[in-house]
């Protein structure tokens, strides 16, 4: 089948490359000419393990193309995916749908035969209705269906998530459009990937509800971690103890500095705005958002406490800046709030991240960025691990101690064993232990 992917960012590029790998003819469209030029040269705009090889393989196989010409991409397409950004709108926190609606208008003007227009972007309930209205207004004689097909890709594992999904959600009340979507996903259906066909508004809400629930699990275990510290319990054992209950499950029960990234912060906020508009309060999600925002700065204060309550003019080495490992995404990363809290208290920050340095620089003024972990650690007054990259999991503790001015290690991801670190002569602080 011929597929057009409007938007060549994280979701669009990964989805387009994976569809091409299934044998579909895919063209990825983006208004950013520089991005398209880089993609044509084989340079990825994001870091995602395996993506460069996947794109190169399918470009070479002539199944994947890139263009800035939306009309060219849409012409003759069976399915047209809208995969543009929906950031939080400044001022009120609603999802900014301007890019989605602009894409819909251009698609409508370019339609030349029946096609299914698919909202892949994360959008509030009712967006598909407006997309349908815009398409009809732009091209009253066009034949098309409008479907919601939310993405469930984890940064750092997106290709595997796309090819081996827990589920595929198709929101459609149009049998013809549903049939096209089932054909698009036929390679996955043959691998027994569950396909859930729902109403369009239901599909739109599934994405938000899923992310809000995962954000709630993270926030819940973080608050339990705080209680563990007060009563002398170990949050890792608590997590394992409750996670072994099949009704709860072990995923997203890892205590840390709070959630960040491209999805959870904006999607929980957008869900709250939708609930307010429809007078259906989501009190649990409200609490999750508030607790998570507060927690990030509290982690900075935790570092200050570990250093005896005074950090002015002291150098702190920070390892890990991205919101999670195996990505270069800095959006709403806990590291931003942690570092800013330390800077507000007068600390000097020296930082390293394997992939997120360039993205971090515009967000973190006054930080000294260095080329590796040891350059960050050498001569610092304390070491703080904010993101659990594999490269930080097995540091030579003897060398760390010898490199630091004072042996203080604050582990905000619980990747080290407290007894071993303390036996190595460190003042050690972690989460909920």
The dihedral of CA 82, 83, 89, 92: what is its sign?
Answer: positive
Decide if 202 contacts 178 (C-beta within 8 A).
no
CA distance 420 to 395: 12
Catalytic residue among 18, 28, 228, 263: 263
Is position 228 annotated as part of the catalytic site? no
Strand-pair partners of 411: 385
Q: Are 179 and 78 in contact (CB under 8 A)?
A: no
Other CB atoms within 10 Å distance of the CB of residue 165? 18
Cα distances (angstroms) measured from residue 321 to each of 115, 297, 328, 354: 42, 15, 9, 9
Instruction: Report the b/e string of 110-128 with b at 16+ CB within 10 A.
Output: bbeeebbbbbbbbbbbebb
Q: Please, are residues 224 and 211 in contact by the beta-carbon 8 Å criterion? A: no
What angle in degrees, to the nearest 10, is found between the helix axes of 235-243 and 200-231? 140
Q: Would you name the residues annotated as active-site residues?
A: 263
């Amino acid at each position: 089948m011929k597929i057009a992917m409007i938007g060549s960012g994280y979701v669009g590029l990964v989805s387009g490359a994976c569809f091409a790998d299934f044998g579909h003819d895919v063209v990825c469209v983006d208004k950013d000419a520089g991005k398209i030029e880089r993609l044509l040269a084989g340079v990825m705009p994001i870091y995602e393990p395996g993506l460069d090889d996947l794109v190169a393989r399918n470009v070479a196989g002539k199944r994947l193309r890139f263009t800035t010409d939306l009309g060219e991409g849409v012409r003759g397409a069976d399915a047209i995916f809208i995969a543009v950004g929906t950031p939080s709108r400044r001022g009120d926190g609603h999802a900014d749908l301007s890019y989605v609606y602009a894409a819909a208008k251009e698609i409508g003007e370019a339609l030349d035969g029946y096609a299914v227009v698919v909202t892949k972007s994360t959008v509030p309930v009712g967006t598909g209705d407006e997309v349908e209205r815009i398409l009809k207004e732009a091209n009253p004689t066009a034949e098309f269906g409008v479907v919601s097909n939310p993405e469930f890709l984890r940064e750092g594992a997106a290709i595997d998530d796309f090819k081996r999904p827990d589920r595929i959600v198709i929101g459609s009340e149009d049998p013809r459009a549903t049939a096209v979507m089932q054909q698009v996903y036929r390679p996955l259906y043959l691998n027994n990937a569950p396909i859930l066909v729902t109403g369009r508004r239901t599909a739109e809400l599934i994405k938000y509800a899923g992310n809000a629930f995962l954000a709630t699990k993270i926030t819940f275990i973080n608050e339990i971690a705080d209680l563990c510290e007060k009563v002398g319990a170990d949050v890792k054992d608590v997590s394992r103890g409750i996670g072994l209950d099949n009704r709860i499950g072990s995923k997203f029960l890892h205590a840390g500095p709070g959630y960040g990234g491209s999805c959870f912060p904006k999607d929980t906020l957008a869900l709250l705005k939708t609930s307010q508009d429809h007078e259906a309060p989501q009190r649990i999600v409200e609490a999750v958002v508030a607790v998570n925002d507060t927690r990030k700065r509290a982690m900075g204060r935790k570092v200050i406490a570990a250093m005896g309550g005074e950090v002015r003019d002291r150098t702190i080495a920070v390892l890990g800046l991205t919101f999670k490992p195996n990505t270069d995404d800095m959006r709403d990363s806990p590291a931003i709030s942690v570092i800013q809290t330390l800077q507000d208290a007068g600390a000097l920050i020296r930082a390293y991240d394997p992939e997120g340095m360039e993205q971090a620089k515009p967000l973190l003024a006054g930080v000294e960025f260095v080329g590796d972990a040891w350059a960050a650690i050498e001569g610092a007054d304390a070491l703080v691990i904010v993101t659990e990259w594999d490269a930080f999991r097995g540091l030579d503790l003897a060398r760390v101690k010898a490199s630091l001015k004072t042996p203080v290690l604050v582990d905000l991801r619980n990747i080290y064993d407290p007894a071993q670190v303390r036996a190595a002569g460190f003042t050690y602080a972690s989460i909920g232990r």
